[in-house]
């Protein structure tokens, strides 16, 4: 009877554990990005791109709305300020004829009567004080009289009613004021009715831009 020889297992490699094999494989596999030390690029899905675009659009709309709101606020503040400044414009226009009549009353008193007649003198003083008080009240509300005599004709402030032959004055100079003009906070309230000189020296080059048309 033949006796079997025992098998020699010395040359058979021992099995490697699964965890060790996985570690070895993971260490062995190196991506190009990892090799260069750079993070892998994030992949953006179409839904994420759509949401990012929507956020950018909403942000732009919000910024526009804030800017428009600020513009409206400033415009309303300016309108409120203008209403406060010019609220008395209509009332002032009704009062200006009173100032005109006071000045006419003073101009109608002869100079000799003011100096020789005590009653006329007192009357003139009373009318003049009343005129000053009225003009001061108007000025407290930003209403000022336009100084026209001797000034260059300005179509934005003056209304030329006639031309006056006056060779001693440059052409276009205001030499007659028939009705004074007024401004309120720098805005024209009533233009002055004036007469302008003609026949005098022509305006100098430095006076360019002044309208002398009557």
- CATH code of the domain in which 179 resides: 2.30.22
Q: Evaluate if residue 6 carries a pLDDT over 80.
A: no
| Any domain includes 43 | no
pLDDT one-digit tens code per residue, 101-135: 999 999 988 888 888 888 888 999 999 999 999 99
Burial class of residue 2 in the structure, from the number of CB atoms within 10 Å of its CB (0-12 exposed, 13-18 middle, 19+ buried):
exposed
Global pTM value: 0.62
Least confident range from 63-72, 82-91, 146-155: namely 82-91
Kindly state the average pLDDT of the residues 37-59.
79
Instruction: Provide the mean pLDDT of the chain.
Output: 80
Counted residue by residue, the chain has a size of 214
| Any domain includes 137 | yes
| Rounded-to-integer distance, Cα 162 and Cα 191, Å | 15
| 172 and 136 together in one domain | no
pLDDT one-digit tens code per residue, 95-106: 999 999 999 999
| Any domain includes 81 | no
pLDDT at 47: 85
| Any domain includes 186 | yes
Kindly state the average pLDDT of the residues 65-83.
90
| C-alpha radius of gyration, the chain, whole number | 48
Best-predicted range by mean pLDDT among 44-53, 150-159, 165-174?
A: 150-159
Domain range for 191 is 158-207
């Amino acid at each position: 009877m033949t006796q079997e020889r025992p098998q020699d297992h010395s040359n058979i490699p021992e099995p490697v554990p699964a965890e060790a094999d996985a570690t070895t494989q993971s260490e062995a596999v190196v991506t190009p990005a990892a090799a260069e030390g750079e993070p892998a690029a994030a992949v953006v899905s179409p839904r994420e791109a759509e949401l990012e675009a929507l956020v950018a659009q909403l942000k732009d709309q919000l910024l526009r709305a804030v800017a428009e709101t600020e513009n409206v606020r400033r415009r309303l503040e300016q309108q409120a300020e203008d209403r406060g400044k010019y609220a008395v414009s209509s009332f002032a226009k009704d009062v200006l004829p009173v100032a005109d009549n006071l000045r006419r009353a003073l101009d109608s008193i002869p100079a000799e009567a003011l100096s020789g007649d005590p009653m006329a003198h007192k009357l003139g003083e009373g009318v003049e004080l009343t005129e000053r008080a009225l003009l001061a009240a108007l000025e407290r509300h930003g209403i000022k009289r336009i100084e026209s005599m001797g000034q260059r004709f300005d179509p934005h402030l003056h209304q030329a009613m006639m031309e006056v032959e006056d060779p001693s004055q440059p052409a276009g100079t205001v030499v007659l004021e028939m009705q004074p003009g007024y401004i309120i906070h720098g805005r024209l309230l009533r233009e002055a009715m004036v007469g302008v000189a003609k026949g005098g020296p022509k305006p100098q080059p430095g006076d360019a831009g002044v309208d002398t048309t009557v």
